Amino acid sequence: MPVIDDRGAAPAPAGGAIPSAVVVGDDRALPRVDDVLGRLLAHSQTLLGTVAGSISLVDPARGRYDKRAELGIPCRVGQSFPLDEGATGQAVTRRMPVVIDDYSLLKGGHLPGTHPASRGAVAAVPLWWRDQIIGVNVVFAGNSRRFTVDEVDSLEVLTQSAAPAVVQAGRAVPSLAGLLREHGRVFAKETGVQTLVTEVGSARPVPDAVSSAAADLVAAVRRMAASRSGDARLHVAVVHRPMGLRLLVQDEVAEAVPGLLEWPGRGPIDWSIRAAADADALGGAVDIEHIAGWGTVVRADYPTRLAQQTGAGEPSPLTGREHEVLVLLARGLSDREVAARLQISPRTVEKHVGAAMRKTGRPSRTSAVVHAMEHGWLDPS
């Protein structure tokens, strides 16, 4: 496993390097972190002619790194791993770019053994910010070629050019847990209802529509709690999962959560019906369970990738959940495997597949996946 180069700090720009504007785009608004990483992956693939890639962000405080973007491979995006594991772990441990001649010889790799990229050369390049590794860009050749020093140098310069955009995008988007904590502090001053918020998993930005629906749901439960007891307390868990977001709200009051609530501009309406409708519109679902003598738990699942737009601006007919199901089918998973990954029943998977087939006008799930890709509703990677 030869070590190609050792910078020890952010490398200086080199002649002919791709400027950061090409990586992050020319939009005036700051892009999301995942958008920046996706662009960096695409440019990396073009630069070296590789077949696949993945980017992870490093969290030294937790001693782990989180897979945040992938291209051409199912590389377990959204999951967290120890800092010494996989190709990313090699780059973090050595604090320099590394080349692995044959990925199949790497211990602790994350690629399926059947994927072509798992048997070829791999290059892993750190992403630096203020003398700290904040991420690692990994590219997979898919064959037994050798990466040259010049190629790895070029990849390193390209990767580093994205560092400012990654940092700025990360700072620009507040987390959902942070928003819920802030809302809770304001509400506590007004009513005395305390809200304890916990965030679990690899935290990432969520779509505005999801944040709004989640915040509305928590606010509704708070108002219900305040209407019964001035010293009520809620426990809220924001759980980031590979294919979506789960929101858990526990109301400690032993009596069941009442139904009617005055919604601004809508009059009295059952808050659970409103929350369920909001989640359903996004491709998610809400479940409420009351345990006598203990309290009430509200469980809401939301997709973190909503329906996409086609290149021509035509909206995708797929819901967020239908999109998630097709993504996993495209990766070769069976209905039962999709159900296990999304934590839903196989029957529910069949329902989403059937809906996708109807909306695409195709007679089989495979043709529905292909149709969705051709129309830009599903990322071909």
- Write the pLDDT tens digit of every residue in 40-67: 999 999 999 998 889 998 887 668 888 8
Q: What is the pLDDT of residue 333?
A: 83
The arithmetic mean of pLDDT across residues 84-93, rounded, is 89
Q: For residue 85, what is the domain's CATH number?
A: 3.30.450.40
Q: Is residue 76 part of a domain?
A: yes
**pLDDT band, very low/low/confident/very high, at 304 (cuts 50, 70, 90):** confident
Residues 31 and 131 in one domain: yes
Same domain, 37 and 129: yes
Last residue of a domain, one of 247, 273, 302: 302
At position 49, the amino acid (one-letter code) is G
Among 221, 155, 139, 215, CA closest to 17 = 155
70 and 200 share one domain: no
Same domain? For 262 and 337 the reply is no
Give mean pLDDT, residues 143-147. Answer: 86
Statement to judge: residues 99 and 186 lie in one domain = no
List of residues 6+ apart from 273 with CB closer than 8 A: none
Q: What are the pLDDT digits (tens) for 328-349?
A: 888 778 888 888 888 888 888 9
Q: Are residues 147 and 282 in the same domain?
A: no
pTM value is 0.47
Do 283 and 199 reside in the same domain of the chain? Answer: yes
Q: Left, alpha or beta for 294 (phi > 0: left; psi -120 to 50: alpha)?
A: alpha
Host domain of residue 350: 320-374
Contacts of 201 (CB under 8 A, 6+ apart): 78, 80, 239, 240, 241
**Residues 52, 77 contacting (CB under 8 angstroms):** no
Name which of 20-24, 39-43, 113-117, 227-231 the model is least confident about.
Answer: 20-24
- Same domain for 346 and 216: no
Does any domain span residue 8? no
Judge whether 314 lies within some domain.
no
Going by pLDDT thresholds of 50, 70 and 90, the confidence category of residue 221 is confident
The residue written with tokens 């990738």 in the block is 305
Are the C-beta atoms of residues 252 and 215 closer than 8 Å to each other? no
Residue 4 domain flag:
no
168/101 same-domain check: yes
Lowest mean pLDDT among 37-51, 197-211, 350-364: 197-211
Position 78 in a domain:
yes
Q: Same structural domain for residues 184 and 252?
A: yes
Q: What is the pLDDT of residue 27?
A: 38
Residue 8 pLDDT exceeds 50? no
Higher pLDDT, 350 or 205: 350
DSSP symbol at 254: S
β-sheet with 285-291: strand ranges across: 194-200, 233-241, 244-251, 295-302, 285-291
Confidence bin at 296 (pLDDT 50/70/90)? confident
Is residue 89 scored above 70 in pLDDT? yes
The CATH number of the domain holding residue 359 is 1.10.10.10
Q: What is the CATH number of the domain that holds 207?
A: 3.30.565.10
Boundary (domain end) residue, out of 172, 207, 232: 172
Q: Which residues pair with 69 in a beta bridge?
A: 55
From 272, 302, 332, the end of a domain falls on 302
Measured CA distances, 348 to 82, 287, 335, 364 (Å): 34, 15, 9, 17
Q: What percent of the chain has pLDDT over 90?
A: 17
* Amino acid identity for residue 9 in this structure: A
Residues 41 and 165 reside in one and the same domain: yes
Strand partners, 123: 99, 139
Same domain, 80 and 117: yes
Between 269 and 18, the more confident residue is: 269
pLDDT over 70 for what percent of the chain? Answer: 75
10 domain-assigned: no
Is 310 in contact with 376 (CB distance < 8 Å)? yes
Residues 222-279 pLDDT 10s: 888 887 755 678 899 999 887 789 999 988 766 666 666 665 555 666 778 888 888 8
Q: What is the pLDDT of residue 236?
A: 93
**What is the pLDDT, as a whole number, of residue 128?**
93
In a domain, 87, yes or no: yes
**Mean pLDDT, the chain, whole residue set:** 77
Higher-scoring residue by pLDDT: 308, 69: 69
Tens of pLDDT, residue by residue over 73-87, are: 766 666 677 888 888
Alpha helices in the chain (DSSP H): 20-24, 33-48, 86-94, 149-161, 163-172, 176-191, 208-228, 271-281, 320-330, 335-342, 346-360, 365-374
30: pLDDT strictly greater than 50: no
Place of tokens 């211990």: 107
Q: For the chain, what is the domain count?
A: 3
Residue 311 lies in a domain: no
Residue 1's pLDDT is what? 35
